[in-house]
């Protein structure tokens, strides 16, 4: 029997893996407009997104054992494209779609879900699938 414990109530951070941190920093910072809060050489770049943080790691660096004994984060990484979905209201989503197009980003898909919210899908420079949807995507 497992002891009782409350379920997590939010995602504090999410991670994607990239092969070019400079391109990722340019894409997520300049094009998407996220605030860069930390960059460590060729290992990672972190962005604030509302009350959450998007972690972008160079997978070839994060598979190495931790170099700082005070921060013993276990090695980690992933192969192949990941996915992240950001939330924007419809007006702002459409403005971002136009901004992405102006920056030369190809919109792979754009549609309204059967229960109403709109989503757009595109790729970051590492090939990760990025979605922007209206906040009510999962509230049906």
Q: Is residue 3 part of a domain?
A: no
Q: In this predicted model, what pLDDT tens digit does every residue of 21-39 receive, in sequence order?
A: 999 999 999 999 999 999 9
Task: Return the pLDDT at 72.
Answer: 87
Low-confidence residues in the chain, pLDDT < 70: none
Residue 57: Cβ within 10 Å count:
22
Quote the number of domains for the chain.
1
Q: Is residue 117 part of a domain?
A: yes
Dist. CA 29–CA 48, nearest whole Å: 10
Side-chain-side CA neighbours of residue 19 (13 Å): 7
Task: Return the pLDDT at 46.
Answer: 97
* Tokens 């990239």 sit on residue: 18
Q: Is residue 47 part of a domain?
A: yes
Sheet with strand 52-58: strands edge to edge: 13-18, 52-58, 44-49, 35-40
User: CATH number for the domain including 95?
Assistant: 3.10.180.10
* Tokens 């939010």 sit on residue: 10
């Amino acid at each position: 029997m497992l002891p009782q414990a409350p379920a997590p109530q939010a995602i504090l951070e999410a991670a994607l893996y990239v092969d070019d941190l400079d391109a990722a920093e340019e894409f997520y910072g300049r094009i998407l407009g996220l605030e860069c809060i930390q960059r460590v050489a060729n290992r990672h770049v972190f962005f604030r997104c509302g009350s959450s943080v998007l972690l972008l790691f160079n997978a070839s660096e994060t598979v190495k054992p931790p170099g700082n004994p005070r921060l013993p984060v276990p090695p980690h990484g992933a192969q192949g494209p990941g996915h992240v979905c950001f939330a924007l209201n419809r007006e702002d989503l459409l403005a971002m779609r136009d901004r992405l197009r102006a920056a030369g980003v190809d919109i792979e898909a754009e549609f309204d879900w059967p229960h109403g919210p709109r989503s757009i899908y595109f790729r970051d420079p590492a090939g990760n699938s990025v979605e922007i949807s209206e906040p009510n995507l999962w509230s049906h």
